[in-house]
Chain A
């Protein structure tokens, strides 16, 4: 294990540092709050000659992803960052990047989608593109943001799928934390060199990328993409384990916090998972068997493993920082329900839509949820879907 450097960094700074150490061939990006700093800080590294990256200050996010696709298809290691409306604007290109199987890494600082326009945290932006074919890795804090960015490069290039790494907008992106960074050389060794088999700059062996499929080939190409998404799961696990050997911090598909004998569990992604851990410790001290399941990887969704992790609980609260607009529940809740159903696990399950547009969620809120779960487990009529913190 290598000696690490402990520094103070915000989530955005941590991601920018990771990008500096990764030193990609091309970064094409457009600013948007609260992600702007990631590439802005990176542009500073470019200006100081700390990276060899060609930085392309494009004129829109759609062009950012288009340029990333051009650079990746040409044979390069490519990264970018955005949020909310930017991610929405490039949505078409996200699907295309995945269909073209390009290993682009994108830092998404989660921010609510308009309308209304709002610059604060919720997960509606990455949820919007959950079907785009990108691996999605959620970070709880700045340390995870840094670690995830480094792993993402390796995951993307091995699985041949693009990867989104998230942080919660403003909460993590702008929150100062203590993180342990690896040495530059160790990051470079961990990610290795990117050697694509087919790439545009290989002039002697021309390829056509982005052909038109009629009804006779589209399904086969999509089936490949589906398979790649399935196969990315073991890749993510492997990379997480290797990263653990290097840094002392191992990563998997999700984190279980005091789940072994948990009776009441919260399922939450991102920074709220961190908040929940504090509440769980407090409740455990009062002998309440509380636990947290924190999905780290939302795409691919590790449903068998998560269902296994939840099988012992009496009641669970699934926290969604966005709504699926299906009239019933949020997107994470849908995934959890499907996972439980497939294992014939019928649990008392409450869905909490929370934190939309950056609405604060605190320790008391989480504590109340555990109270709700206790009631629900006894059969006392609880609302299946709760809109936590909204004024009626």
Chain B
């Protein structure tokens, strides 16, 4: 893995001057992904916070070739770019090794962009898709998405006199991508650069479709002070709200197991979107969140054990 001093010597591929909020996790993620990927990279982005703040004409924060076409089609758009590359390689018109990286928010990935992503990885294009997941449609004003966790306050599933935020559990998109049986699927966070950059490097060293779901705290949408973005990401890992793991050719490996698993209340109490959970009448919702988190974590531990055993069995002589 490239060390931080080497990375600091690299040409800056993602510049300042973009219009992201102060403390934006998405900008942080994009910058770190590019540090890991290097300059021989083409980026496609779905419509969303990252794309909007970084490409207001005539200003672009990208120092690599960049394409945005629409909201629901980062998967399909990058498929086309990669297809052209494959075509030119085959025709002898091109010979450089390139990375193809698509960025999509949870909006453009979990919901409206799911089909396009699914199709792209089913076809096995040699791409890395990075979802910067801030758990709501942030760019349009914090509307609920399929990634929004249960009980979170968003503008289309708000906390009011009768309703207490989102009533559905959040989609397990990482699980959906694992089910596509692509070579590499991982979860990471903004707030652990080693985890994110090493996963990006690993993904880019593999052929085929790769997917990394990066938990991205959003100070505006979640309601916390901007300096806490990294801390918020780490708390998500320490409470197991967002486990850090990877699935390499079907084998699960949890890349961070907290020594002391913190209660979800530690994560929740710092965020305005969960403010209502501090009220005694909403205790059941907080308990539900803890129970769900625990259940998911236990399942993940089991999956890790199971897939390691399966791999061992497969390796054993008959």
Contact = CB atoms under 8 A, between A and B. Distances in A.
Q: Touch between A and B in complex, CB under 8 Å?
A: yes
Contact of A56 (B44, B67, B79, B98): B79
A100 B69 contact: yes
Majority secondary structure, A binding face: mixed
A203 B11 CA distance: 14
A75 B68 CA distance: 15
Contacts, number: 170
B119 A28 contact: no
Interface residues of B, number: 47
B270 interface: no
A211 B69 contact: no
Contact of A67 (B40, B52, B83, B98): B83
A201 B67 contact: no
Interface stretch (A57-65, A303-311, A336-344): A57-65
Contacts of B82: 70
B62 A208 contact: yes
A282 interface: no
Contact of A73 (B62, B64, B81, B116): B81
Contact of B65 (A67, A96, A201): A201
A68 B60 CA distance: 23
A249 B70 CA distance: 40
Given A28-B80, A200-B42, A201-B42, A53 B51 contact: no
Interface residues of A, number: 44
A66 B82 CA distance: 12
B76 A58 contact: yes
Contacts of B68: 208-211
Given A203-B98, A208-B62, A69 B80 contact: yes
Given A59-B122, A212-B51, A201 B85 contact: yes
Interface in B83-98: 83-88, 90-91, 94, 96, 98
A202 B51 CA distance: 21
B80 A212 contact: no
Given A63-B119, A201-B42, A212 B56 contact: yes
B78 interface: yes
A70 B65 contact: no
Contacts of A206: 62-66
Given A25-B87, A212-B51, A68 B80 contact: yes
Contact of B83 (A28, A203, A210): A28
Interface string B40-72: 101010000001100111101011111111101
B123 interface: yes
Given A60-B119, A206-B66, A70 B80 contact: yes
A84 to B, nearest CB: 20
28 contacts: A28-B79, A54-B90, A56-B79, A56-B123, A58-B79, A59-B122, A60-B115, A62-B116, A63-B115, A66-B73, A66-B76, A66-B77, A67-B83, A69-B67, A70-B77, A70-B81, A74-B80, A74-B81, A74-B85, A78-B84, A96-B69, A96-B70, A203-B65, A203-B98, A206-B66, A208-B60, A210-B68, A212-B51
Closest A-B pairs by Cβ, 8 of them: A70-B80, A59-B119, A67-B80, A63-B76, A66-B76, A210-B68, A54-B87, A66-B73
